[in-house]
Amino acid sequence: MQTTENLTELLPQLTLEEKIKMIHAAGLFRTDGIERLGIPGLHMSDGPNGVRQEFEDDAWQTVDDGGDYSSWLPSNTCLASTWNPELAFYFGQILGNETRGRGKDIILAPGVNIKRTPLCGRNFEYFSEDPVLTGTLATSLIQGIQDNDVAACVKHFALNNQEQDRLEVEVEVDEKTLQELYLPAFHDAVIDGSSLTVMGAYNRFDGSYCCESERLIQKVLREQWNYDGVVISDWGGVHNTEEAALHGVDIEMSVTSDFDNYKMASPLYEKVKSGEIPESVIDEKVMRILSLMEKLRMNNPSRKPGCFNLVSHHSTIEKIAAEGIVLLKNDTGHLPLEAGTDGERRNRILVVGDNATRTHAGGGGSAEVKALYEITPLLGIRMALGGNTICDWLPGYYVDNEELLHVEGGDWQADSLNEYHDKSKDQKNLTDDVLARRRQYLEEAVAAAPDYDEVIFVGGLNHSFDVEGVDRPDMKLPYGQDEVISALADTVENLTVILVNGSPVEMPWIDRVHSLLQTSYYGMHGGLALARVLFGEVNPSGKLPETYPLCLDDTPVSQYHSYPGVRQADGHPHVTYSEKLMVGYRYYTTKGVPVLFPFGHGLSYTTFFCRNFHVVVRNMDSIGELQITVSCEIQNTGRCYGKETLQLYVGIPEEGQPKMALRSFEKVALKPTEKREVSLILTQRDFSTYSVEEKRFIARPGNYPLYLGVSSENILYETSIDLLKEYPC
Ligand code: BGC
Q: What is the pLDDT of residues 43-75, one digit of tens each?
A: 999 999 999 999 999 999 999 999 999 999 999
To which H or E segment does residue 382 belong? helix 377-385
pLDDT over 70, % of the chain: 98
Measured CA to CA, the distance from residue 71 to residue 374 in angstroms comes to: 9
Is the pLDDT at 623 greater than 70? The verdict is: no
Angle between helices 131-146 and 85-101 (to 10 degrees): 40
For 399, 440, 599, the CA distances from 463, given in Å and listed in that order, are 12, 24, 24
In this prediction, residue 622 has a pLDDT band, given cuts at 50, 70 and 90, of low
Q: What beta strand segments (E) does 254-313 contain?
A: none
Q: Is the CB of 234 under 6 A from ligand 1?
A: yes
Q: Is the CB of 690 under 6 A from ligand 1?
A: no
In this prediction, residue 411 has a pLDDT band, given cuts at 50, 70 and 90, of low
Q: Is the CB of 523 under 6 A from ligand 1?
A: no
Is the pLDDT at 621 greater than 80? The verdict is: no
Please compute the mean of the pLDDT values over residues 374-395 and round it to a whole number: 96
pLDDT of residue 340: 79
pLDDT of residue 625: 81
pLDDT of residue 564: 97
Cα(512) to ligand 1 centroid in Å equals 41
Nearest CA to ligand 1 atom 6: 235
The C-alpha angle 527, 533, 535, rounded to 5 degrees, equals 100
Please compute the mean of the pLDDT values over residues 333-350 and round it to a whole number: 89
pLDDT of residue 343: 83
pLDDT of residue 645: 98
Q: Are strands 702-709 and 642-650 parallel, antiparallel or unpaired?
A: antiparallel
pLDDT of residue 455: 98
Residues 172-177: contacts with CB under 8 Å, at least 24 apart: 172/574, 172/575, 172/576, 172/577, 173/205, 173/576, 173/577, 174/577, 174/580, 175/690, 175/692, 176/580, 176/581, 176/656, 176/689, 176/690, 176/692, 177/577, 177/580, 177/581
Measured CA to CA, the distance from residue 22 to residue 259 in angstroms comes to: 12
pLDDT of residue 418: 87
Is the pLDDT at 348 greater than 60? The verdict is: yes
Q: What is the pLDDT of residues 211-267, one digit of tens each?
A: 999 999 999 999 999 999 999 999 999 999 999 999 999 999 999 999 999 999 999
Is residue 234 among the annotated active site residues? yes
Q: What is the pLDDT of residues 491-523, one digit of tens each?
A: 999 999 999 999 999 999 999 999 999 999 999
Q: What is the pLDDT of residues 432-442, one digit of tens each?
A: 999 999 999 99
Is the pLDDT at 409 greater than 60? The verdict is: no
pLDDT of residue 204: 98
The C-alpha angle 109, 302, 66, rounded to 5 degrees, equals 55
Cα(110) to ligand 1 centroid in Å equals 11
In this prediction, residue 408 has a pLDDT band, given cuts at 50, 70 and 90, of low
The residue annotated as part of the active site, out of 149, 188, 234, 250, is 234
Q: Are strands 548-549 and 595-597 parallel, antiparallel or unpaired?
A: antiparallel
Q: Is the CB of 252 under 6 A from ligand 1?
A: no
Contact present, 557 and 475 (Cβ < 8 Å)? no
Helices and strands, counts by H and E, the chain: 17, 31
pLDDT of residue 728: 84
pLDDT of residue 412: 62
Measured CA to CA, the distance from residue 226 to residue 228 in angstroms comes to: 6
**How many CB atoms lie under 10 A from the CB of residue 553?**
10
Contact present, 300 and 511 (Cβ < 8 Å)? no
Q: What is the pLDDT of residues 627-656, one digit of tens each?
A: 999 999 999 999 999 999 999 999 999 999
Sign of CA dihedral 403, 405, 406, 412: positive
Q: What is the pLDDT of residues 560-612, one digit of tens each?
A: 999 999 999 999 999 999 999 999 999 999 999 999 999 999 999 999 999 99
Angle between helices 481-491 and 432-448 (to 10 degrees): 20
Q: What is the pLDDT of residues 433-476, one digit of tens each?
A: 999 999 999 999 999 999 999 999 999 999 999 999 999 999 99
Please compute the mean of the pLDDT values over residues 414-431 and round it to a whole number: 87
Testing ligand 1's pocket by substitution, the residue of 95, 235, 251 carrying the most ligand atoms inside 8 A of its CB is 235
Q: Which residues of 587-623 are buried (b: 16+ CB within 10 A; e: fewer)?
A: bbbbeeeebbbbbbbbbbbbebebeeeeeeeeeeeee
Is the pLDDT at 410 greater than 60? The verdict is: no
Please compute the mean of the pLDDT values over residues 402-411 and round it to a whole number: 67
Cα(121) to ligand 1 centroid in Å equals 14
Measured CA to CA, the distance from residue 613 to residue 144 in angstroms comes to: 34
Nearest CA to ligand 1 atom 5: 235
Please compute the mean of the pLDDT values over residues 317-342 and round it to a whole number: 94
pLDDT of residue 589: 98
Testing ligand 1's pocket by substitution, the residue of 108, 124, 162, 413 carrying the most ligand atoms inside 8 A of its CB is 108
Identify the bridge partners of residue 24 per DSSP, sorted by sequence position. 252
Please compute the mean of the pLDDT values over residues 328-345 and round it to a whole number: 90
Residues contacting residue 622 through CB under 8 Å, at least 6 positions apart: none
For 162, 204, 547, 563, the CA distances from 117, given in Å and listed in that order, are 8, 18, 10, 8
- Rounded to two decimals, the pTM is 0.98
Nearest CA to ligand 1 atom 2: 234
What backbone phi and psi angles, to 5 degrees, belong to 615? -125, 135
Q: Is the CB of 686 under 6 A from ligand 1?
A: no
Q: Mean pLDDT across the chain, nearest whole number?
A: 96
To which H or E segment does residue 287 belong? helix 279-295
Residues contacting residue 599 through CB under 8 Å, at least 6 positions apart: 129, 130, 544, 545, 546, 547, 584, 585, 588, 662, 711, 712
Contact present, 69 and 370 (Cβ < 8 Å)? yes
Alpha helices in 462-505 (DSSP H): 481-491
**How many CB atoms lie under 10 A from the CB of residue 392?**
13
Q: What is the CA radius of gyration of the chain?
A: 26
Best CA proximity match to 39, nearest among 16, 18, 17: 18
